[in-house]
Structure 1
Amino acid sequence: MAVYEIAVTTGDRLYSGTCDYIYVTLIGAEGQSERTLLDNDIRRGSSGCYSVEAPKPLGELLLLRVEKDPFFVLPEDEWFCTKIVVTTPNGEALLFPCHRWVSRGGDLELRGGPDYVAAHWQDDDFYGFQFLNGVNPNMIQLCSQLPPNFQVTDAMVKPFLQEGTSLEKEMKNGNIFFCDYKTLDGIQTRVYDGEQLVVATGFCLLYMNPENKLKPIAIQLLQQPAKENNIFLPSDSETDWLLAKMFIKNADSIHHQSINHLLNTHFVVHGCALATLRNLPLIHPLYKLLIPHFRQTLHINTLAQTRNMAARGLMSVPNFHYRDDGLELWGHIQSFAKAMVDRYYPSNDDLIRDSELQNWIKEIFTNTFLGNVHTEQLAKFITMVIFRASAQHAAVHYGQFDYSGWAPNNPLLMRKPPPSTKGVSTMETIFETLPNQRETVALESTFLTITTKFKDFVPLGSYPSEHFGEPAPLEIIKLFQERLASLGEKIAKRNAELPVPYPYLHPAQMENSISI
């Protein structure tokens, strides 16, 4: 019998406590505990200690599942959980940040967040894993031929490949991938302590080994080959290799925030929201369909289609949970959108005769990215809008505290320029390059705040405003919700088996719109 001590902290904001029943389940690499009742009288600002028993030690603790059931027939009584600390039988204390409202049926799966990252951020396999399942899964692509300005050779990387193979063979076998940060080349950076900051704009080469682990095998920090633009390798000194990886992650973080997050979700959806509000009346079916996905979008801030997985050579990559969950979600959203479009536009002529819709399309075409459409194209476009407002934003947003809360893992600021010489770096160099304490606290606080799910959180598939009242669209919504629930169960089951879960595209954990 293994006993785990649980310390639960409730927020001190108004109405944070609850009289509902709170249950937890501990999920580890070697099993899980029983669903255990903690309490049904948790008060605002309180901290409570409880015990959870398991038949045997659970190994590395991966997830903490939190569930809330009603207290007799009383109405919904939401609970704001700040954090849960689990002390294992061997005395190790593990922090599970929460900082969100918990509702009935809205089960949470918490993980250690920055604690896990802090323990593994220097590992090459965890470094590679993040290019697939971290906050920026849209950069990596298959490498069938090296860019001419990426001066890596077979001799350089041969020691890090499977014995008896070569770089050319592995590229032909589809096992070599790379990230290219040329988009950042030439950007204007700010001045820090009187010096212009320098951003790495080069390449990271990665290898999918026979154990299906993606690992970095070569890094070039700048675009143009030069004597001072070295190729960094895993065989270099520990600090040289670590520093090179950190500069690539800095470039990845900047690209993520400015392009894949701000531009490709916030700004794209913002343009569609404006066109909808300007051209479609409240009673228009497309207004009713889209407006829940624009909730608060205007208050927080080229048709960039979802990047084609096949074109990036990623359809057969194992353990790519963003792809698997995202494509399944896309399919469910597309079926939902098509059913709604077919309900109100049985033919293309019906679409053409809708002058309000044509004005909406005209504005999007003139100011953004959409041309003349028929019903099939309209359904695909609506799918893109809903997907970007919900799933894509969730994928690039909600993992920010998990992966960037530990500053060395995803540094948004590097105070020193990229290294131009090998063999001279030390841990002191790394500390001098990373953000200082004040900057680190500011960044961590920001990531924690923007990834917190607040009380008015509306998950994908929920339509509390009830814009539709007719039986047919309500039945379409119900079917959509059932499909999302089934996908959620599938994702939860898979995550329970993963050493590093991927919860960001669980339908119940993503917002219906870009609200933060």
Structure 2
Amino acid sequence: MAVYRLCVTTGPYLKAGTLDNISVTLVGTCGESPKQRLDRMGRDLAPGSVQKYKVRCSAELGELLLLRVHKERYAFFRKDSWYCSRICVTEPDGTVSHFPCYQWIEGYCTVELRPGTARTVCQDSLPLLLDHRTRELRARQECYRWKIYAPGFPHIVDVSSFQEMESDKKFALTKTTTCVDQDDSSGNRYLPGFPMKIDIPSLLYMEPNIRYSATKTASLLFNAIPASLGMKLRGLLDRKGSWKKLDDMRNIFWCHKTFMTKYVTEHWREDHFFGYQYLNGVNPIMLHCISSLPSKLPVTNDMVAPLLGQSTCLQTELERGNIFLADYWILAEAPTHCLNDRPQYVAAPLCLLWLSPQGALVPLAIQLSQTPGPDSPIFLPTDSDWDWLLAKTWVRNSEFLVHENNTHFLCTHLLCEAFAMATLRQLPLCHPIYKLLLPHTRYTLQVNTIARATLLNPEGLVDQVTSIGRQGLLYLMSTGLAHFTYTNFCLPDSLRARGVLAIPNYYYRDDGLKIWAAIERLPKPAVHPRRAGEVPHCNHLQLLCPARCCQQWAA
């Protein structure tokens, strides 16, 4: 008689425990155990509990390959979800095998867990394990389906697919009702405290292992609703008129003051701070070092000589690599929007900046369109204070549009969603890259679904408060993605291509390169493709490669 000792850990989350019957089966190289129900005196599998059980077998099972968790009905009770953190198995000879789960198990189903040691497909030779990989990925691909949100967009998760899944037959999926198309504006409704419509149906359904926990959801609502109501009461969210003077804006931001907000309030008009924001502001990736001026920006030496001084000239500074350009070309053809029945306007500026001998980056010239001529003057620091300030304000407005739509939402959220989806669809739980990426992508699909339901939906926040509206946002993102290259993914290559490796006081670059170096060191020992005795490629990783799957940026 061989006795295996189990230590079962239930997650500490709200409603993580279950009343359903939980049984386990151990599968080894020499056979499998009888199905053993996990049942003791008192409450089993309560939230946060760590409980011990025994599984008796007629003989030892050999090396443990799988642990099957069976979730079945208990008496007349309805289905009860269970969050299983992990199960540790102590074998008769004292060897301890860890079976991580860390997922919600919904409905009545059987989940197969593998030992926690990361393994690539090259390291699995047993048909049982290879078949387990295939079945796991097939189930995930049925659950996490691709959807085209708009032409030219990265593919996104199809939220409606979660409504179609039957939890008794799939991997930890919820049973729900008939689907509603996410793009159907009939689901848009107003909620108290929110001035824009929200796509309610798309928020109701999300696979339990990628949606927010109850605690995180409560925290989100606790912060979002008071903030939205506060901005509404202060006249920011649904303001229909214009501010009469700059001091009026201070009344909007009278609360939540910090040292940084005070500093910005006092220095936002200064050229030095304007230039500093290109290095360490919200969008520090716009600068390109140039060796010659583009034909569409006909700045002459006489225009900028008062700022450069007598000891140098524009051509000399270009040759020294001290002249930088921020080009907002992507806004030139962007459609505009109407707010409060008034047409809105968008500039596509060219901003020329100079790195002074003191190490400060300051603006030299601003042209607010991509086409030079009488209708597109070049603004200079020597112009009147209000003309120069207005030109810088238009640049900041363009900076906001490019940053929020492309740098932030496209490159941070949507591209990450493509890789999060590819990870879920193409890598099994035991793959080392899956284990590495999963903690960093846990809430990616949920937060993006919320954004599409509140910001990108028709009559959502983007339509309510931005000059380009939803159609302009779709244009900017599709155009940005069409010009996105693999170099943009690689920080060192991107910095080198933009010529900003040597510019001083560029903390985004300094911190980013340290993080890049740390990340680059992590996966190499686990999945190096040419370790001795292994196949020199991995099909799972090939399916994640952007170069191979450029249409979706991930398979």
TM-score by length of 2: 0.45
Specify which structure has the bigger relative contact order, considering alpha-carbon pairs within 8 angstroms and separated by 6 or more residues.
Answer: 1
